[in-house]
Chains A and B, each alone.
Chain A
Amino acid sequence: MKSVRLSRRQRLLASCAPIREELINDRSMRAAVFCARASDEFANQQSFDRAVATLVRSVPVPPEIGEWFSSESPIARPRLRWKKTAQNPAVLAIGIALAVIAGVFILHLFEHLHDFSGSGTAQSGPTRARWAICFL
Chain B
Amino acid sequence: MLGDPRRAQEVFQATLREATLLCANGETPSDPFWFFRDARWRCLETSEHGLRAEDVELQKHDLSPSAPAQIERLDVNQLATWISAAPEPQRTALALFYLDEFNHREILSLAELRIGELSRLLADGRRQLQAWLDATLPQEEAK
Which residues from chain A sit less than 8 Å from chain B, CB to CB? Answer: 11-13, 15-20, 23-26, 29, 41, 44-45, 47-59, 62, 64-65, 68, 74-76, 78
Contacts and interface: CB of A to CB of B under 8 A. Distances in A.
Given A48-B68, A56-B76, A62 B97 contact: no
Nearest to B71: A51
A44 B103 contact: no
Interface of B: 5, 9, 12, 16, 19-20, 23, 26, 28, 63-65, 67-68, 71-72, 74, 76, 79-80, 97-105, 107, 115-116, 118-119, 122-123, 126, 129-130
- Quick one: which of B19, B64, B68, B102 has the most chain A CB within 10 A? B68
Contacts of B19: 75
Contact of A48 (B26, B67, B102, B105): B67
A78 B100 contact: no
A23 B118 contact: no
Q: Which 4 A-B pairs have the closest CB atoms?
A: A51-B68, A51-B71, A15-B119, A12-B119
Contacts of A41: 63
B16 A68 contact: yes
Given A13-B104, A26-B105, A62 B5 contact: yes
Nearest to A8: B116
Nearest to B28: A78
Given A15-B122, A64-B9, A56 B79 contact: yes
